[in-house]
Amino acid sequence: MTLVYGHRGFSGIYPENTMLAFEKAYEAGADGIEFDVQLTKDGIPVIMHDENTLRTTGQDFFVKDLSLEEFLRLDTGYVKSGRFGFTPPPTLREVMAFCAEKNFRMNIELKTGVFEYDGIEQIVADMLKEFGLSETVLVSSFNHFSVLRFRRIMPEVRVGLLEESWVLNAGAYCKSLGAEDYNPTVCFLNDETVAELRANGRGINTWTVNSEEEMRRTLRYSVEIGISNWPDRYLKLRRELCGE
Ligand code: G3P
Ligand code: CA
């Protein structure tokens, strides 16, 4: 069965990468959430999509230059004109506590594409062990070096290689690196790519599945995880088409 995950925001209604958005995805019945992890200046793992905080908080900083205390003073509610009041971005610890309590799955994206955040893989691994979430989590990154670093620390955790281009022999590539999964943008998922991935025994986690056509196509391919800004619509379609 395809698992449906909320993609950092929910329906564009709630500020993205916030506890509020994650709670709404949970309430909608999603199987899990996808989100992006970076490190503050003092080495604390926090949730934020962009390396710079301007777009989502109106404050022009890099996450890496802020202490945790400064980071938690940011207001992601800013983009929604104060509609939700002061909404600080969460730490990874808060999100893991929430997911552990609710038995909610996570796809942790290590945001190591621009800044590599020395030690982030170990920090995330330690916290996964602390919360006992290693069996259900998926760890992914566009930085495949980072994925392999994580894999060496926690070989028992499923990992996926993120890509946003037309990659040839993606399944063979993932297999050669020991990555169980391939995580492509949904527009690069076609019959040929899916067949090659399946022939190589790889799982498929794809994003961002927002249109009805994309939802239907990914359910037809029985991808392992479909990540959507509209988990409620996706779940409805899954019930109609797959009875689940
Ligand atoms: O992990 C799926 C997707 O979130 C990757 O791209 O830029 O939305 O973080 P982005
Ligand atoms: Ca992401």
Give pLDDT, residue 81: 66
Instruction: Name residue, tokens 């297999």.
Output: 175
| 144 is an active site residue | no
**Which among 194, 96, 173, 183 has a CA at the least distance from the CA of 136?**
96
Domain that holds residue 204: 3-242
Q: How far is the CA of 198 from the centre of ligand 2 (A)?
A: 24
Dihedral sign of CA atoms 46, 48, 50, 52 in order: negative
The DSSP letter of residue 243 is: -
Q: Is 16 in the pocket of ligand 1 (CB under 6 A)?
A: no
Give pLDDT, residue 115: 98
**Model pTM score:** 0.97
Averaged over successive runs of 10 residues, the pLDDT of the chain (244 residues) comes to 89 85 95 98 97 94 98 87 85 98 98 98 98 98 98 98 97 98 97 98 98 98 97 96 89
Q: Please tell me the total count of domains within the chain.
A: 1
Give pLDDT, residue 89: 95
Q: How far is the CA of 51 from the centre of ligand 1 (A)?
A: 13
Q: Is 106 in the pocket of ligand 1 (CB under 6 A)?
A: no
Residue 179 backbone phi and psi in degrees, to 5: -90, 125
Q: Whole-angstrom Cα distance, residue 49 to residue 220?
A: 29
CATH assignment of the domain containing 158 = 3.20.20.190
Cis amide leading into 2 (omega within 30): no
Give pLDDT, residue 77: 81
Q: Whole-angstrom Cα distance, residue 106 to residue 90?
A: 14
Neighbours of ion ligand 2 (CB under 5 A): 36, 109
